[in-house]
Amino acid sequence: MTDTNVWRRCSSCKREIGFQATYWVCSVSTCNRKRTGLVFCSTSCWDAHLPLMNHREAWAEERRAPTREAWRREQEAEAAGAQKPSPPPRAPAPSHSPPPRPQSPVRAPPPPEVPEEILVVVSKLKAYVREKSGMSTSDAVADLLSERLRRLCDEAIRRAQRDGRKTVMERDF
């Protein structure tokens, strides 16, 4: 920012938020991510973002902007992290090494660290069950359905790999 008294601008009205000033953030994690980073100068500006984001349950959390020095140190640390030196180029393999083995068309399955997130749109699922039967749906159903979807997808991935394809198609299911 060009003005040295401005920490950030309100994500709604674009008013300036100064250093050590009070501001508000949304309680929903997707609004607080580093790349999104929504900040609001007032609760009315926070209220204005609710219809756009379509949150089911959210509230404004009061925060205090950092000091100018703390902000400067944070920016310098981010800049230093972004400018990490690239690793030196690898030396060519000696000529007496065996030729590289051809890679098989089948890829290894993804690492087990894949996050176990909900894979269904819970609101759509609940609406379908309610419209079809008039019944409510337990929140635990989303976890169970997501686990079954993961298993179906894993099987379909294996079939596509077995056929040497890099695209999972409907016939794999």
Phi, psi (degrees; rounded to nearest 5) at 23: -145, 175
Residue 55 confidence (pLDDT): 80
What are the tens digits of pLDDT across the range 11-41?
989 999 999 999 999 888 888 788 888 999 9
Greater confidence (64 vs 104) lies with 64
| DSSP symbol at 171 | G
Residue 133 confidence (pLDDT): 94
Residue 109 confidence (pLDDT): 59
What are the tens digits of pLDDT across the range 140-167?
888 889 889 889 989 999 999 999 999 9
Q: Which two tokens stand for residue 1?
A: 């920012």
Q: Check whether 49 has a pLDDT greater than 90.
A: no
DSSP of 5-48, one letter per residue? TEEEE-TTT--EEETT-EEEEESSHHHHSTTT---BSSHHHHHH
Residue 62 confidence (pLDDT): 92
Residue 1: pLDDT band (50, 70, 90) is: very low
